[in-house]
Chain A
Amino acid sequence: MIIKNVRILGGDLADIRIENGVIAEIGQIAAESADEQSIDGQGAIALPGLVDLHTHLREPGREDAETVLTGTQSAARGGYTAVHAMANTMPVADTAGVVEQVWRLGQEGGYCDVQPVGAVTVGLEGKQLAELGAMADSAARVRVFSDDGKCVDDAVLMRRALEYVKAFDGVVAQHAQEPRLTSGAQMNEGVVSGRLGLTGWPAVAEEAIIARDCLLAAHVGSRLHVCHVSTAGSVEILRWAKSKGWNITAEVTPHHLLLTDELVEDSPNGPYNPIYKVNPPLRTRADVEALREALADGTIDIVATDHAPHPVEDKETEWAAAAMGMIGLETALSVVQEAMVDTGLLDWAGVAERMSLAPARIGRLSAHGNPLEVGAPANLVLYNPGVRTEVDPRGFSSKSRNTPYEGMTLPGRVVATFLRGKPTVLEGKLV
């Protein structure tokens, strides 16, 4: 198969030949025979298939919100070829059995590789380590461990987890949230929360845990990954920790790169609309600017979606009763273009690094996140950055509709996604 007329990382026009799921040739390519399939990329940008380090697929347990199949279809539509499925399912992914089930469901669907994340503690309860080794040794080959949704706040437990996973080159991905400082927290603590009378989620509750974990990781010589960094203060701490040469990586979500807490008070969807309720919460404009800068200069390594599907009834409520989270797989690349590329902060090679290469490295996925070169697995996405369209969640492949971007005009469109040479999306539609 030949993909004609694409611009790899936004460069010059080229063709890509794919054979047996691998990139066989790059250049000006003529079809060898009349039956060789050819797809015209029409000048779209070709990027290595995106890798998400932070996805909630909800299966098992909340199949009303998302399943592995619909979640991976959503991922494919967003240009992803691999996603890391977070462990906070029901039952929790804290045993080899659950992670293998999730992994197999991904394989069966065939839209996107699913790499399960294992829970750090049994039942996400923060009391006892889960059988991390069993999950690492399972067919799912778990390398990323996280209690995401909850913070591993016990310092001793966190230290032990960081140490223990070194035996199989694992990484602990921390949801940094000091629980006592965020008891009942509803939104970013600041000017808006004060006016709205909503219990604040102070930046310090994230920053204190990040600082502690960086010090712990340095002390025991382990690898630490920080989930969904949301504040300017966290960026400063990470910059300092990285300057020490410590083995720390961090992610930012698309929504924290674009949206602010002012939307809780004033948006086209009315005040207190839980579509903007997310954890960690939307922060201030100054935080957004600091996060963009940090992603550009490498202080923050990657973009991860924290795709968090919820059924309609869990968002059509009063603010305090609503579930936290937003879906993001199908809008991630557009939001990153809006926040980072169109602002001149990042080029397409930088996007590929932060949305494919680096997340695959952190997750230790050798078959994903490779540069588009001859011999690499043919995992790639074709993206047309030249269009602007209004986000209409009715067209999403995710089972849920809780997107904060509905009605917003965003740039770009995923034209096609290829997983090991097989198209999962063509002309923007699932294959």
Chain B
Amino acid sequence: MNKHLISAADLSKDDALLILDTAEELARVSERSIKKLPTLRGRTVVNLFFEDSTRTRISFEAAAKRLSADVINFSAKGSSVSKGESLKDTALTLEAMGADAVVMRHGASGAPYRLATWIKGSIVNAGDGTHEHPTQALLDAFSMRRRLGNLEGRKVTIVGDVLHSRVARSNVLLLATLGADVTLVAPPTLLPVSVDTWPCSVSYDLDSVLPKSDVVMMLRVQKERMNAAYFPSEREYSRRYGLDRDRFARMPDDAIVMHPGPMNRGMEIAAEVADSSRSTIVEQVANGVTIRMAVLYLLLGGEI
């Protein structure tokens, strides 16, 4: 394993499987009445969040605390950062406090790589701009594996705003590493111009891909994209790329529906689909804590 987890590309197949297997073991711990392990006692994990993301921050916080780490939450709002402190000075401050790991969420793509040049601890990317969100991809893979078993050869369809999605980038890389067949579905405006160089297939037509999918992952589509002419209207997007009941019915019987949240019910996903038994959306949240425990545990070299 690398010292940091910044991109899903940092993970070899063995690394990825080790994280997933470790998460399986830790999941058993989570089922116990006392969930806490002493593994990271005395280690300090900093949650460094430059963007509001209560869900992800709480997930990392719960993961670190269940491993008995000391957790410091540093959010940009109301801190020295909002007074114009540079990323480098924030990094040097954390370094002086002796952070063993920094979990970072930042609005600028690549910010964790910059942070890594200034601090000695491990860095876990909790989402950087429109680049990557590798623990999301790991928890997605973990959720898929729990439902479907081995991911080798499994057909995963990812639908939505791929261009601006860090979740999509990390998922494409990780799923390719794990041997799944990924197909991206989006209006052409929401795909990078170079998407043909990615290790996946691309389609503009959701209906032709759905019947062949084992997993359909819907991405959040921000309504503001409409203003920049990425698509004409919410309704049109929903009609062409939304997972409604009719489309859901055309999926194979054992295929599952995923969404990294937060959802726009009625836009990219219908409420009935999101709440169906084949949706893993709530499991994904629970699995998020488990997978982040596994990542922190392996990066910080703890012992079970």
Interface residues of A (CB under 8 A from B): 186, 189-191, 193-200, 202, 270-273, 313, 316-321
Find the B residue at minimum CB distance from A271. Answer: B113
| CB atoms of B193 and A321 under 8 A apart | no
Nearest Cβ distance between residue A20 and chain B, in whole angstroms? 53
Q: Could you list 15 further interchain pairs (A-B, Cβ under 8 angstroms) beyond the known A194-B195, A198-B131? A: A189-B194, A190-B193, A190-B194, A194-B194, A195-B198, A196-B109, A197-B169, A198-B129, A199-B130, A200-B192, A200-B193, A270-B113, A270-B116, A320-B109, A321-B108
Judging by beta carbons under 8 Å apart, are A197 and B87 in contact? no
Report A-chain residues with C-beta under 8 Å of the C-beta of B106. Answer: 318
A190 to B107, CA, bound (A): 21
Contacts of A317 in B (CB 8 A): 86-88, 114
A349, B88: Cα distance in complex, Å: 47
Query: Which residues of chain B have C-beta atoms less than 8 A from A321's C-beta?
Result: 87, 108
Number of A-B residue pairs at CB separation under 8 A: 75
Contact B169 A271 (CB under 8 A): no
Closest-CB distance, A284 to chain B (whole angstroms): 11
Assess the B169–A319 pair: CB atoms within 8 A: no
Given contacts A193-B192, A197-B129, contact A272 B86 (CB under 8 A): no
> Given that A200-B193, A319-B114 are known contacts, is A313 also in contact with B109, CB under 8 Å in the complex?
no
Closest 7 CB pairs of A and B: A272-B110, A194-B192, A197-B131, A197-B130, A194-B194, A318-B108, A320-B108
Q: Is the CB of B110 within 8 A of A319?
A: yes
Assembled-state Cα–Cα distance A235/B59 (Å): 52
Q: Which residues of A contact B169 (CB under 8 A)?
A: 195, 197
Q: Assess A318 versus B87: contact at CB under 8 Å? Given A191-B194, A272-B114.
A: yes
Taking CB atoms and an 8 Å cut-off, the chain B residues in 200-248 that contact chain A are none
Q: B57 in the interface, Cβ–Cβ < 8 Å?
A: no
Contact B113 A272 (CB under 8 A): yes
Task: Give which listed residue, A193, A316, A320, contacts B194 with CB less than 8 A.
Answer: A193
Chain B interface size, as a band, is 20 to 34
16 example contacts (A-B, Cβ-Cβ < 8 A) are as follows A189-B194, A190-B193, A194-B198, A196-B109, A197-B130, A197-B166, A198-B110, A199-B130, A200-B192, A272-B113, A317-B87, A318-B106, A318-B114, A319-B109, A320-B107, A321-B108
Contacts of B109 in A (CB 8 A): 186, 196-198, 272, 319-320
Q: Does B131 lie within 8 Å of A313, measured CB to CB? A: no
B117 within 8 A of A: yes
With A191-B197, A194-B197, A197-B130 in contact, do A318 and B110 touch (Cβ < 8 Å)?
yes
User: Does chain A have a CB within 8 A of B180?
Assistant: no
Name the residue of chain B whose CB is nearest to the CB of A321.
B108
Interface residues of B in 89-140 (CB under 8 A from A): 106-111, 113-114, 116-117, 128-132
Asked if A318 and B111 make an inter-chain contact with CB atoms under 8 angstroms apart, the answer reads yes
Interface of A is mostly: loop
Bound Cα distance A358, B116 (Å): 46
**Roughly how many angstroms separate A318 CA and B110 CA in the complex, as a whole number?**
7
Q: How far is B262's CA from A89's CA once the two chains are assembled, in angstroms?
A: 45
Task: Tell which of A189, A190, A272 has the most Cβ of chain B within 10 Å.
Answer: A272
Which residue in chain B gives the minimum CB-CB distance to A320? B108
B114 proximity list for chain A (CB < 8 A)? 270, 272-273, 317-319
Determine if A316 and B88 form an interchain contact, defined as CB atoms under 8 angstroms apart. yes
Q: Is the CB of A316 within 8 A of B86?
A: yes
Closest B residue to A192 using CB positions: B194
Contacts of B193 in A (CB 8 A): 189-190, 194, 200, 202
**CB-nearest residue of chain A relative to B106?**
A318
Q: Which of A191, A272, A317, A318 gathers the greatest number of chain B CB atoms within 10 Å? A: A318
Assembly CA distance A190 to B194 (angstroms): 6
How far is B197's CA from A193's CA once the two chains are assembled, in angstroms? 12
Q: B117 and A270: CB pair below 8 A?
A: yes
Across-interface contacts of A271 in B (CB, < 8 A): 110, 113
Once the chains are docked, how many angstroms separate the CA of A190 from the CA of B128?
Answer: 19
Assuming the contacts A197-B130, A272-B113, A318-B114, asked whether A313 and B195 have C-beta atoms less than 8 A apart, the reply is no
B87 proximity list for chain A (CB < 8 A): 317-318, 321
Chain B neighbourhood of A318, CB < 8 A: 87, 106, 108, 110-111, 114
Residues on the B chain within 8 Å of A200, using CB = 192-193
B52 CB to nearest chain A CB (Å): 18
Residues of B within 8 A of A316 (CB): 86, 88
B88 touches A197 (CB 8 A): no
Write the nearest CB–CB distance from B82 to chain A, whole angstroms. 14
A199 vs B129: C-alpha distance when bound (angstroms): 10
Give the residues in chain A near B129, CB-CB below 8 Å: 197-198, 320
Q: Which of A189, A194, A313 contacts B86 (CB 8 A)?
A: A313
Chain A residues whose CB sits within 8 angstroms of the CB of B128 once the complex forms: 197
| Closest Cβ neighbor of B87 among chain A residues | A318
Say yes or no: A197-B132 contact (C-beta < 8 A), given A319-B108, A319-B109: yes
Please report the C-alpha to C-alpha distance between residue A316 and residue B92 in the assembled complex, in whole angstroms.
13
